[in-house]
């Protein structure tokens, strides 16, 4: 049960931080006079796909680590995580191609949340590691 709470906590942090970043992105579009329904649709699609990608990654890694601990087979867990990353990338590519080909949204506005999610994750991880470091300079 603790494992699920940790995953939900991480997803919650990412969701809040990414929502703020997407809000700033939409504000920049509005300031530039380029805010349209397609930009809003792209931001929403990108936000949903980014969160979905992270949830899928978290669940896959958690399950692979559990299996590795249970079966004492870390190579199998590593292969499972690698296969999952390929599948997630292919699914994202297919969805983005379909969305772009149908002109449902602005491509830049749809891709930026995925890139912003990576930056947010690195930033959150940086501060999380900083909090755990016991050697604080006084």
- Taking only the tens place, the pLDDT of each residue in 57-100 is 998 888 888 888 888 878 888 888 889 899 999 999 999 999 99
Q: What does the block give as tokens for 35?
A: 């805010």
CB 50 within 8 A of CB 116: yes
CB 68 within 8 A of CB 76: yes
pTM of the predicted protein model:
0.84
- The Cα–Cα gap between 37 and 103 comes to 11
- The Cα–Cα gap between 58 and 68 comes to 15
Q: What does the block give as tokens for 46?
A: 């990108």
């Amino acid at each position: 049960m603790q494992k699920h709470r940790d995953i939900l906590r991480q997803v919650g942090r990412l969701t809040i931080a990414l929502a703020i970043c997407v809000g700033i992105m939409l504000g920049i579009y509005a300031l530039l006079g380029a805010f349209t329904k397609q930009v809003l649709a792209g931001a929403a699609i990108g936000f949903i796909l980014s969160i979905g990608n992270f949830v899928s990654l978290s669940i896959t890694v958690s399950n692979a680590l559990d299996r590795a601990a249970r079966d004492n087979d870390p190579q199998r867990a590593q292969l499972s995580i690698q296969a999952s990353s390929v599948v997630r990338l292919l699914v994202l590519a297919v969805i983005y191609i379909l969305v772009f080909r149908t002109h449902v949204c602005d491509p830049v506005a749809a891709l930026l949340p995925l890139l912003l999610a990576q930056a947010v994750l690195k930033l959150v991880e940086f501060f999380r590691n900083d909090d755990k470091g016991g050697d604080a300079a006084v």
